[in-house]
Amino acid sequence: MPSKPAGTLYRGREGMWSWVAHRITGVGIFFFLLVHVLDTALVRVSPEAYNEVIGTYKNPIVGLMEVGLVGAILFHAFNGIRLILVDFWAKGPRNQRKLMIGVGVVWVVLFVPFVARHLTHVFGG
Using CB under 8 A, pick the residue from 13, 91, 98, 117 that binds other proteins.
Answer: 117
- Of 103, 107, 73, 109, give the one whose Cα is nearest residue 85: 103
Phi, psi angle pair for 103, to nearest 5° = -60, -45
Using CB under 8 A, pick the residue from 27, 101, 105, 112 that binds other proteins.
Answer: 27
- Is 46 among the residues that bind other proteins (CB under 8 A)? yes
Give the Cα-Cα-Cα angle 50, 70, 98 (nearest 5 degrees): 160
> From residue 27, how far is each of 12, 68, 113 by CA, in Å?
21, 14, 25
Binding residues: 76
Q: Which residues bind other proteins (CB under 8 A)?
A: 23, 26-27, 29-30, 33-34, 37-38, 40-41, 43-44, 46-48, 50-51, 54, 57-58, 63, 66, 70, 73-74, 77-78, 80-81, 83-84, 87-88, 114, 117-118, 120-122, 125
